[in-house]
Structure 1
Amino acid sequence: MPFIRQSDYQPPRWLPNGHLQTIYPSVFRKVEGVVYERERIDTNDGDFLDLDWSFSKYDFPKGPGKKKLPLVVLSHGLEGDTTRQYIIGMVKLFNSNGFDCLAWNFRSCSGEINKTLRFYHSGATDDLQTVLNVALSKGYEEIYLIGFSLGGNLTLKYLGESGENLYPEIKKAIAFSVPLHLSSGSSKMEGWEDWIYTTRFNRSLKKKILEKARYYPDQINTSNLSKVKTLRDFDNYYTSQLHGFKDAEDYYAKNSSINFIENISVPTLIVNAQNDPFLSKKCYPFELTERLENVHFFAPEEGGHCGFYQSGYNGVLWSEMKALEWITRS
């Protein structure tokens, strides 16, 4: 499919660059009216995942032919959770348009440290598989996937790994602000213009390592925390080691979704703004996606990282409207 460069997204004039378009909605946007019902599920390795459900008030006619509403499964970004504005904003819009929503928290992201030595990472598709198994066990026959940033990479990798063997209930997917090429994306975050994001992520990640080390003192070397200055450092000393990879580069190579998207078998839209401060040039695979049948690549000039804030529209983001349009069109 040909990639799409042109976009109808227009940021407010007072958000003139990718950094402001990233930071403003993250800090100042407030979404109200979403009520979650939490479900804790067990994983096969003795851990747990916290799932947050939000059910639409829309009802099909009652009777013998009644079926479940369609379900949207949402995966958040690095050090995010289901309360982030880009998650609950999407949940609110889809609930109001007749979709149930399942937003899931990655391991250690729901407010409680997870039980096992491992955490979560960009390619942990086994956990997404577990979440989808729960959704299918509840009788959902029409499922759509939405991922953001790290959760977008995980979603695309899952779809590519599954290929033609994907559950038939999964109909479409859309991913925003995706670091498709993890290594170069990590290098991009080492620049001075991204230090504020890197510092924030590492502060949160280091805190979790210290907490995890209380339970696994013989398996986690906290002395390496002083050496962590970049995300690549963290992935070298911790992400890779806790999840069975040789080093950060091995972790990046084996989990970058750009290596999996050619095998995606359902209509999938990737939306990466060209002024996204997190993404490298390799995260804009124009030539690759141009020859893919099921993957559409949309590269609007503006939007930032998980941003796409717009004035008016009752507080709904451009990205949320785009997702609804993509999923509901025939």
Structure 2
Amino acid sequence: MNPLNADFRPFPLLAGGHRQTLAACYVAATASLPSSVQHRVALEDGDQLVLHDDCPPDWQAGAPAVLLVHGLCGSHQSRYVVRIGSKLLARGVRVFRLDLRGCGAGEMLARTSTHCGRATDLEPPIVRIGELAPDSPLTVVGFSLGGALTLNLAAMPSVPSNFARIVAVCPPVDLFAVEELLKRPWNRKYDQFFARELWKKVQHRSRIVAGAPSVDHLPKPRKLREFDEAYTVPLGGYRDADDYYEQTSVASRLAKIELPTRIIAAANDPIVPLEPLASSQLGPATQLLATGCGGHLGFVGRRGSDPDRYWLDWRVIEWVLEGDQAPAPQPESQLARPSVWRIARGLRSPQPSSQPSTVAD
């Protein structure tokens, strides 16, 4: 399959990988979701995750359900999660958004952080969704780290029975290749950003959460490898960062995935390289939908056949619905539009927020 086969045309002012990536972070999104019901999900080691449940008023068991899994340093409130979730909800899909270990509403419910070796963390929330939405086929949509975790879980010998379909957006399937890409001069800022944000979180957790490992004696990491060597490796039982990268990179196991899978990636992603995906043997039901442009979780395009400029959203929606009849799309004027002029000038827009949630369990 030609890896550059997707029909995506970037908005003219956002034609580069860095601009598309910044668009994913700083586009002014007005999408929102109604007050969610929170479900706490216990893990075997005592940590807890949080599921945010948005259910259409006329939804019935057996109707489609989707689980959205955010990326590194993200949460259920990440722009792409809220934006895509709101569109799916409007089309009658029950939407679950997961806060991974130590993220979002679950930040103080976990002693440690999520990482690429935590694929089995997705199994309890998927099983819980099966209890909440019996007989409903579940599509798991993972973004970046969330995509890698989803693919890793799907490549295991057995998966929960309600786990039916996958979308993985910009998944880091080869952590060695990610490290090499982040060494490039223009990409080092991303490496530094992730290391800084992760370090802030583990420092805060070590002082607030009972049983969280102390990190005050460790040197402040300047890049992800240093963070992994100091924190991820010892807590995960790996020999070193190389061992962690080798064991958790899913590229060599993609052929084992039997579930219908769509992987979306861009050749100019400055964080996650396309080449490991393009050169890997894929499963029999896996489709690689790759573009020349799109950046990391960006894909903000020109006007076309989609209702708005968020090309990524509609590729996820069409895979989730799989041809099912759905309510007509909203006119573009009612949807969040990219503030492309702000992005072009390098201005930062406020983060979206969800309404307060109700805790169910």
TM-score (norm 2): 0.81
Other-structure match for 1:178: 171
2:200 to 201, 204, 207: 207
**Corresponding position of 1:155:** 150
- Contact 2:262–2:287 under 8 Å retained in 1: yes
Counterpart CA distance in 2 for 1:69 and 1:281 is 34
Partner residue of 2:27?
28
Of 293-302 and 312-321, the range deviating more from structure 2: 312-321
- Partner Cα distance (1:207, 1:107) in 2: 15
Shift of 1:327: 2.7
> Which residue does 1:38 correspond to in 2?
38
Give the aligned partner of residue 304 of structure 1. 295
How many angstroms apart in 2 are the aligned matches of 1:155 and 1:139?
Answer: 19
- Relative to structure 1, the CA distance from residue 74 to residue 107 in structure 2 (aligned partners, 3 Å threshold; closer, same or farther) is same
Q: What percentage of residue pairs aligned between the two structures are identical?
A: 25
Task: Provide closer, same or farther for how the CA distance between residues 206 and 100 of structure 1 changes in structure 2, counting only shifts above 3 A.
Answer: same
User: What are the within-5 Å matches in structure 2 for residues 1-330 of structure 1?
Assistant: 2-35=1-34, 36-57=36-57, 59=58, 67-111=61-105, 113-141=107-135, 142-162=137-157, 165-214=158-207, 219-226=213-220, 228-280=221-273, 282-286=275-279, 288-289=281-282, 292-312=283-303, 313=306, 315=308, 317-329=310-322
- The offset of 1:225, in angstroms, is 2.9
**Distance in 2 between residues matched to 1:115 and 1:26, nearest whole Å:** 26
DSSP 3-state at the match of 1:161: coil
CA 139–281 in structure 1, closer or farther in 2 if over 3 Å, else same: closer
Question: Which letter does structure 2 place at the counterpart of 1:45?
Answer: D
* Deviation sequence 1:142-193 (CA, Å, 0-9, x none): 111110100000000000014xx33342221110111110122023213221
How big is the shift at 1:102? Answer: 0.7
- TM-score if structure 1 supplies the norm length? 0.89
3-state secondary structure, aligned to 1:95 = helix
**8 Å contact 2:116–2:248 — kept in the other structure?**
yes
- Aligned-residue offset at 1:67: 3.1
Distance 1:222 1:235, change over 3 A: same
AA paired with 1:222?
D
The range that moved more, 136-145 or 86-95, is 136-145
Could you tell me whether the CA contact under 8 Å between 1:187 and 1:232 is conserved in 2? no
Contact 1:284 1:299 in 2 (8 A): no
Query: Given the superposition, is the C-alpha separation of residues 31 and 261 from structure 1 closer, same or farther in structure 2, using an over 3 Å criterion?
Result: farther
SS at match of 1:102: strand
Equivalenced residues, count: 318
Q: Quick one: distance in 2 between partners of 1:134 and 1:170?
A: 11
> In 2, are the aligned partners of 1:74 and 1:102 still within 8 Å (CA)?
yes
Q: Considering only aligned residues, what root-mean-square deviation do their CA atoms show, in Å?
A: 2.2
Cα distance change of structure 1 residues 105 and 211 upon mapping to structure 2, 3 Å threshold: same
| Higher deviation after alignment, 146-155 or 292-301 | 292-301
C-alpha distance in 1, partners of 2:77/2:185?
A: 29
Post-superposition offset of 1:131: 0.5
Q: Which stretch shows the higher mean deviation, 74-83 or 31-40?
A: 31-40
Contact 2:50 2:106 in 1 (8 A): no
Quick one: which amino acid aligns to residue 85 of structure 1? R
Q: Which amino acid aligns with 2:299?
A: F
1:293-313 CA distances to partner (integer Å, 9 max, x unpaired)? Answer: 122212211111001112455
Question: What amino acid maps onto 2:81 in structure 1?
Answer: I
2: CA distance between counterparts of 1:14 and 1:116? Answer: 41
Q: Give the CA deviation at 1:286.
A: 3.4
Call closer, same or farther: CA 1:133–1:112 in 2, change over 3 Å: closer
Using the alignment, how far apart are the partners of 1:9 and 1:238 within structure 2? 39
My pick for the range that moved more, 177-186 or 66-75, is 66-75
In structure 2, the residue matched to 1:63 is none
SS at match of 1:285: helix
Distance 2:50 2:161 in 1: 25
Secondary structure in 2 matching 1:299: strand
Quick one: structure 1 residues 116 and 38, their matched pair in 2 at CA, closer, same or farther if it must change by over 3 Å? closer
Unaligned runs of 5+ in 2: 324-361
- Residue segments in structure 1 that go unaligned for 5+ positions in a row: 61-65
Distance of 2:212 and 2:76 partners within structure 1: 32
Q: Distance in 2 between matches of 1:217 and 1:42?
A: 16
CA contact (8 A) 2:56 2:89 kept: yes
8 Å CA contact 2:55, 2:94 repeated in 1: yes
Equivalent-residue separation in structure 2 for 1:54 and 1:29 (angstroms): 22
